[in-house]
Chain A
Amino acid sequence: MKAADAWRMSAIPYSEMAFKSILQNSSNMWWGSFGRGAASEVSEHEDLVKRALRIARFDKVILAVVVTAAAGVPFLPLVLGATYGLAASVTLSLAVSFALIVLYGVQTLASYMGGEFPPFLSTLPLLRDDVSLVNLFSFVRTSDYPVVGTVACQVFFVLVVTGSVLSGLFMLLAGIVNSAIAVTVSLWLSSLFYKGIQGSRRGGRGSAIRLVMLLAWGIAVLGIGVLFAATGYLIPLAQGALANPNALTSTILSLVYPFSLGVGVGATAHLFTPSGFEEAALAATLCYVLIAVAGSWWSMRSVASFPEGAALASGGEGARDTSATVHGPVGAYMLKDLRMASVNLPSAFLFALPAFETLVILVYRGALPTLRASTLLVSMVLGGLVALILPLVLVSSESTGFDFAKTMPLRIRTIVFSKASIATAVYLPAVAVVFLEAMLKPLSSPAVGLIPLASVLAVASASLLEVRLFLGFTPAGRLTFVLQDFARMAAGAGLVILPALTYAVAYILGSGQYLAAATMLVVALIELVGIIEFVRRS
């Protein structure tokens, strides 16, 4: 079979795998909720399938745009006239694109790991090698747009900044090596995570391994966030570390991935003036090229064996007893949701997001001597708004299993209270972050201490409202479904913002911090009581 035919044919298994991956990884489907039909018109399953198809179609394109843009950001200081830092810019660009490709790859490759590789190719009159080639190309398709976009962007910026074809070619090599290693790492991590998380047995050691893996994943994702958010600070830092050729750190950095590639590009453009360890960097680059080649070879062999079920992790002893325990309906539903979230990598990230967002704001305002009301209001509200993704994620994560819950004697409000409780609990670490900060620096007024409490109540109200609205309560009117979904999220956001707004208004009107904080607390309480009543009645 010609390679071009195999490439063309690989679009079919790729689409199927992307679709299955998204359908399996239902917490990823929250953004695909936008524009879905009303629950009463189509079955839940049909709705989910349509959403998964929609996401499968656009997910990779959206990621390609994001990764390409992220890979370009570290070059902006150079384009804007900075005359130093090419090595650091290339290094950071490679690090960011590497991290994003791995992040996406690990999630997308889940269905390859699940042993659900479309078997129909093997049933066609095709040679075994042809089938392997088609499978390999379908795997390549999982990251083709992001890789091509990223490498093209990096080469473009290096050519613009240096005007050197040699530098451009070196960047091309560095970009390809970086992408090849990133895809190999994605595949390896997918296998590791699949075996440890989704495919593992429950209970005891399996749970401990799962927790460690989820924590590792959450920390890695937060690390990527920091890397991306702090690019502006990291470029001068990295360049400073590289600038002294006599320092041991510089020599070590020149050997470390992806600094070696960055130093290599800088050296070819003669923009990396300090010299003395370019040779070490070039030697290390050669090693990374070999690693990329070996990694690609391993990936190809692994992917070719997937249709035979090689990725499936099985084994270990089966369960020996059937003992089980019971809970109340709300507790059982919460436990079910948490158990489902504990086998889902993206959830680990989303669950940490509100606390992370709050921490970022506090760090940005870290120079202030006291913990002021304005800092707290902004950080708590932004953390709260991020927490409002959770209700939608929790509703989406029901996936096709929701049909099972529909056969149970469950009140809608049981589901609403359980999901809203989880969303509110996820927000609590944000409050913990604030309390830790309060231990390090004094409050501008004791009244400020009421702000986190009022914010928790507001997030609880917003979560209750959002879950209720997303579980099928369709507002009247002829708004399109997209607008309806935005309206549902906006309603939740309004409940988070309103108490903070009343604090600000009361303070501006001269009430003082105590009265302003009390007003905020009362408004948040009224919201909560009103929403609980709404959920109970609806």
Chain B
Amino acid sequence: MVGELIEINGLAKTYGNARALNGLDLRVMPGEIYGLLGPNGAGKTTTLRITAGMIEPTSGSVIISGFDATKESLQAKAKIGYVAEVPILYESLSPRELLEFAASVRGIDKESLNRRLAQLAEAFDVVSAFDSPIATLSMGTKQKVAIIAALIHQPPVLLLDEPLNSLDARSNKILRELLALHVQKGGAVLFSTHIMEIAQKLCSRIGIIFQGKIVAEGDLDQLRAQTGGKDATLEEVFMKLTHESSEVENIVRSLRESFFENESR
């Protein structure tokens, strides 16, 4: 039996008095795209940053492909490709210099590197930007460079924080196809997004994160079953689980009243 590629147990993280994660548990199996869905500040990015080994949890554990992300961080990081919501790159380097750095540190041989770079740069249409300082590139091109850096070593685990935000339609489609191929090959993806349609279309399972822990997970039918709405959309399920339905209705009602207040006077 094949084990989980990502296993998160009782993850907690506090910043001073603020509690970002509050005992979060999740598992992602090979061949799975797991969508992490939650309101702003729910803990999505913190979860991904801890899983990527960028920050340490206050308590709990993250196991990547059998390696503890804290105690065996080098082995765990070797299995991960991470794309941040806002691309974090060395902006004074060019994409070529940055990708050479990433490939060298990850121990990729020159031939494989050049083959993969040629494919990915062509696919994401960034060849002409290869020698320009990253600081001068558009947000979308930066995001593409970050995606190539995450894919260049063909890791089994991809951690993607809102990766489609700045991408054009072409790159958006290519990335989604790449993710599908990745999971077909037995890889796993932990994916955070705000866009319900993408989560619904792309993810095999969805976890709703709220106040630092997973409050519900499963495919859309399972989530519907948990909220009691048989024909509910993912958005309705999400609103219900994050206790935002009635709050949003009240806010919209109040806004409508104030918008038309002047006209009625």
Residues of chain A at the chain B interface (Cβ within 8 Å) = 24, 40-43, 45, 114, 198-203, 206, 312, 314, 317-329, 331-333, 335-336, 339-340, 343-344, 399-401, 403-411
Chain A residues within an 8 Å CB radius of B102: 404, 408
CA distance A331 to B102 in the complex (A): 12
- A318-B136 contact, Cβ under 8 Å, with A326-B103, A403-B88: no
- Interface members, chain B 10-60 (any A CB < 8 Å): 15-16, 52-56
Instruction: Tell whether, in the assembled complex, residue B135 and residue A198 are in contact, meaning their CB atoms are under 8 Å apart.
Output: yes
Q: Does B89 contact A (CB under 8 A)?
A: yes
- Distance in Å: Cβ of A191 to nearest Cβ of chain B: 15
Q: How large is the interface on B (under 10, 10 to 19, 20 to 34, 35 or more residues)?
A: 35 or more
Contact B129 A318 (CB under 8 A): yes
Chain B residues whose C-beta falls within 8 Å of the C-beta of A42 in the assembled complex = 15
B105 A340 Cβ-Cβ under 8 A: no
Is B75 within 8 A of A409, CB to CB? yes
- B115-138 near A? 1/0 per residue, CB < 8 Å: 001100110000111111101100
Contact call A318/B130, Cβ cutoff below 8 A = yes
Q: A410 to chain B: which residues have CB within 8 Å?
A: 74, 77, 105
7 contacts between A and B (CB under 8 A): A202-B94, A319-B96, A324-B96, A327-B104, A403-B88, A404-B149, A410-B74
Structural contact, B53 and A406, CB atoms closer than 8 A: yes
**Which among B78-86, B162-170, B187-195, B238-246 touches the partner chain?**
B78-86
The chain B residue with its CB closest to the CB of A116 is B135
B209 to chain A, nearest CB (A): 19
Contact A322 B88 (CB under 8 A): no
Q: How far is the CA of A340 from the CA of B92 in the complex (A)?
A: 6
Contact across chains for B127 and A326 when beta carbons are under 8 A apart: no
Distance (whole angstroms) from the CB of A34 to the closest CB of chain B: 22
Give the complex CA separation of A400 and B89 in angstroms.
Answer: 8
Q: How many angstroms between the C-alpha atoms of A24 and B94 in the bound complex? A: 15
**Per a CB cutoff under 8 Å, which of B56, B73, B127 touches A320?**
B127
A409 touches B74 (CB 8 A): yes
| Residue pair A344, B92 in contact (C-beta under 8 Å) | yes
User: B105–A322 contact, CB under 8 A?
Assistant: no
- Chain A residues near B101 (CB-CB < 8 A): 332-333, 335-336
Of B106-114, B196-204, B217-225, which stretch is located at the interface? B106-114
**Is the CB–CB distance between B89 and A404 below 8 Å?**
yes
Distance from B254 Cβ to chain A, minimum over Cβ atoms (Å): 27
Given A407-B53, A409-B77, A409-B78, does the pair A202, B103 have CB atoms closer than 8 Å? no
Taking a contact as CB atoms under 8 Å apart, the answer to whether A319 and B113 are in contact is no
Residue on A nearest B109 in the bound complex, by CB: A326
Cα–Cα, bound, A403→B50 (Å): 12
Bound CA span A400–B108, Å: 25
Interface check B147, CB cutoff 8 A: no
User: Measured between alpha carbons, how far is A240 from B206 in the docked complex, in Å?
Assistant: 83
Query: Which residues from A are CB-within-8-Å of B135?
Result: 24, 114, 198
Cα separation A328 to B122 with both chains bound (whole Å): 27
- Name the residue of chain A whose CB is nearest to the CB of B16: A41
Contact residues in A for B136 (Cβ distance below 8 Å): 199, 312, 314
Cβ of B131: which chain A residues have Cβ within 8 Å of it? 201-203, 206, 318-319
> Can you name the residue of chain A whose Cβ is closest to the Cβ of B152?
A324
Do A318 and B128 touch across chains, with their CB atoms under 8 A apart? yes
Does B74 contact A202, Cβ atoms closer than 8 Å? no
A407-B104 contact given A201-B131, A201-B132, A324-B117, CB 8 Å threshold? no
Are B110 and A322 in contact, with the CB atoms below 8 A?
no
Complex CA–CA separation, A343 to B130 (angstroms) = 17
- List 12 additional A-B contacts (Cβ < 8 Å) besides A323-B114, A325-B100, A331-B104: A45-B88, A114-B135, A198-B92, A318-B129, A318-B130, A319-B131, A320-B127, A324-B110, A405-B105, A407-B80, A409-B75, A409-B78
- For the complex, what is the distance from the CA of A325 to the CA of B74, rounded to whole Å? 23
CB distance from B75 to the nearest CB of A (A): 7
Confirm or deny: B179 has a beta carbon within 8 angstroms of a beta carbon on chain A. Answer: no
Contact yes or no, B110 A321, CB < 8 A = no
A43-B55, A324-B100 as given contacts; A198 in contact with B77, CB under 8 Å: no
- 3 closest pairs, A vs B, by CB? A318-B128, A332-B104, A401-B90
Could you tell me if A401 and B53 are in contact, using CB atoms closer than 8 angstroms?
no
- Residues of chain B contacted by A406 (CB below 8 angstroms): 52-54
Q: Which residue of A lies closest to B79 (CB)?
A: A409
For A339, the chain B residues whose CB sits under 8 A away are 92-93, 97
Whether, in the assembled complex, B91 has its beta carbon less than 8 Å from a beta carbon of chain A, the answer is: yes
Q: Which residues of B are found within 8 Å of A202, using beta-carbon distances?
A: 94, 96-97, 131-133
A250 to B99, CA, bound (A): 58
Take A202-B131, A319-B131 as given contacts and tell me if A403 and B97 are in contact as well, using a CB distance cutoff of 8 Å. Answer: no
CB distance from B60 to the nearest CB of A (A): 16
Tell me the smallest distance from the CB of B210 to a CB of chain A, in Å: 22
Known: A203-B131, A326-B100, A411-B74. A403 touches B117 (CB 8 A): no
Q: Do residues B97 and A321 form an inter-chain contact, with CB atoms below 8 A?
A: no
- Of listed A42, A45, A322, A333, residue having the most chain B CB within 10 A: A322
The contact string, 1 if C-beta is below 8 Å from chain A, for chain B 139-182, is 00000000001000000000000000000000000000000000
Q: Given A198-B135, A318-B131, A318-B132, are A324 and B103 also a contact pair (CB < 8 Å)? A: yes
A323 to B90, CA, bound (A): 19
Kindly state the separation between the CA atoms of A332 and B105 in the bound complex, as whole angstroms: 7
| A404–B74 touching, CB < 8 Å | no
Q: How far does the alpha carbon of A285 sit from the alpha carbon of B205 in the complex, in Å? A: 77
Shortest A397–chain B CB gap in Å is 9
Q: Contact check, A318 vs B127: say whether CB atoms are below 8 A apart.
A: yes
Chain A residue nearest to B101 (CB atoms) is A336
Please give, as numbers and ranges, the residues of chain B lying within 8 Å of A318 by CB-CB distance: 127-132
Q: How far is the CA of A380 from the CA of B239 in the complex (A)?
A: 68
- In the complex formed, the residue of A with least CB distance to B82 is A407
Neighbouring A residues of B96 by C-beta, 8 Å: 202-203, 319, 322, 324
The reply to whether A321 and B92 form a contact with Cβ atoms under 8 Å apart is no
| Given A343-B133, A404-B90, A409-B106, also A336-B97 (CB < 8 A) | yes
Residues of B within 8 A of A203 (CB): 96, 131
If A198-B135, A202-B131, A322-B130 touch, does A329 touch B104 (CB 8 Å cutoff)?
yes
For A325, the chain B residues whose CB sits under 8 A away are 100, 110
A319 touches B77 (CB 8 A): no
Return the chain A residue nearest B78 by Cβ: A409
Contact between chains at A324 and B113 (CB < 8 Å): yes
User: In the assembled complex, which residues on chain B have CB atoms less than 8 Å from the CB atom of A405?
Assistant: 105
A332–B80 Cα distance when bound, in Å, is 20
The CA of A327 and the CA of B55, in the complex, are separated in Å by: 27
Which residues of B sit under 8 angstroms from A326, Cβ to Cβ?
Answer: 100, 103-104, 108-110, 113
Interface hub of B73, B98, B127, B132 (most chain A Cβ within 10 A): B132
Given the interface contacts A318-B130, A324-B103, does A407 sit within 8 Å of B118 by beta carbon?
A: no
Q: In the complex, which residue of chain A has the Cβ closest to the Cβ of B108?
A: A326
**Interchain nearest-CB distance for B74 vs A (Å):** 4
Nearest chain B CB to A46 CB, angstrom units: 9
CB distance from B61 to the nearest CB of A (A): 17
Q: How far is the CB of B43 from chain A (nearest CB, A)?
A: 14
Q: CA A331 – CA B107 in complex, angstroms?
A: 12
* A43, closest chain B residue (CB): B55
